[in-house]
Structure 1
């Protein structure tokens, strides 16, 4: 069941929209201002947020700005509710990261269509991202042994030469040390790429 956060300071509108969403199979959680909405978004991780623009304590714009600064929340689809859809207000919301606008009073068909469209788009984006992650995993698994073994052989080989050789010239010692450093940097790049992959995989779950 998809979870939708509804942020609206007018109780009759909030309760009416909550009832519509729940009647159509969604889990609807509600907040009466932007501050409470941001808290619920942080703790409940909804699949979509519907929010009024003008609210006490924290406006819809201000809440959206906070969401966009949070890596765990910035991907959540966001729909604004407003009594006046003006070009400047729409542009402001879209620039902040809003996905859609709905005019009050909201018709049930328009609400459900917007919700379904945004959830479907979000799911397509997630699937595409998962595909890229899987491709990256296959590439890493295919190359990881080679990418580890090659620099390791270099590090072990050149360090063994240094330890076993007698009376190495300063130039030879510098050359071997440089080769070890290059191999170490290559190994570090491989580890950095693996950590990046793990980070991306964690964000996709």
Structure 2
């Protein structure tokens, strides 16, 4: 299916997302913070980035801003946060979808399927 990059500093959440997405048939890479996420994108451009907001060293908004500055505008981005969406979205220059933590795994899986279907070339 798709190559998905999960950028999440909470190891339990990252491992849960990795297992969910692999069960859905995706190839999953995990980065523990924004700088590692950018490095992973430089190695291989993913079909989708799923990112937390608050992380050490480089936050989700900083990483997404750097992605855009580096010309990675076509990569869909899903933002995860325990903060309210209206507080989080303005910090991002690009956010294709938002999901509030804690979330139900089936809701996230459906969101990912939808975004990947929308991103497919017709």
TM-score band, normalised by shorter chain = over 0.9
Instruction: Show the counterpart of 2:53.
Output: 53
Task: Look up the SS of the partner of 1:113 in the other structure.
Answer: helix
Partner of 1:121: 118
* Rg (Cα) greater in structure: 1
- Describe the superposition over 1:58-84 as per-residue Cα deviations: whole angstroms up to 9, x where unpaired: 10000000111122x221000011012
Q: Which residue of 1 aligns with 2:42?
A: 42
- For the 8 Å contact 2:85–2:100, the answer to whether it is kept is no
Please, what is the CA RMSD of the aligned residues? 1.1
More strand per residue: 2
Name the structure, 1 or 2, with higher relative contact order (CA <8 Å, separation 6+): 2
Aligned-partner Cα distance in 1 for 2:117–2:70: 22
Point out the structure with the larger helix share. 1
Alignment of 1:21 onto 2:21: yes
CA contact (8 A) 2:7 2:33 kept: yes
TM-score (norm 2): 0.94
Q: What is the number of residues matched between the two proteins?
A: 122
Shift of 1:121: 1.1
Question: Structure 1: how far apart are the matches of 2:114 and 2:39?
Answer: 25
**Aligned with 1:79: secondary structure?**
strand
In the TM superposition, what are the counterparts of 1:1-205 in structure 2 within 5 Å? Answer: 1-71=1-71, 73-93=72-92, 96-123=93-120, 126-127=121-122
Alpha-carbon distance, 1:92 to partner: 2.9
| Distance in 2 between residues matched to 1:106 and 1:19, nearest whole Å | 15
Gapped runs of 5+ residues in structure 2? none
Q: CA–CA distance in 2 between the matches of 1:53 and 1:76?
A: 17
Any unmatched runs of 5+ in structure 1?
A: 128-205
- Provide the TM-score with structure 1 as the length reference: 0.57
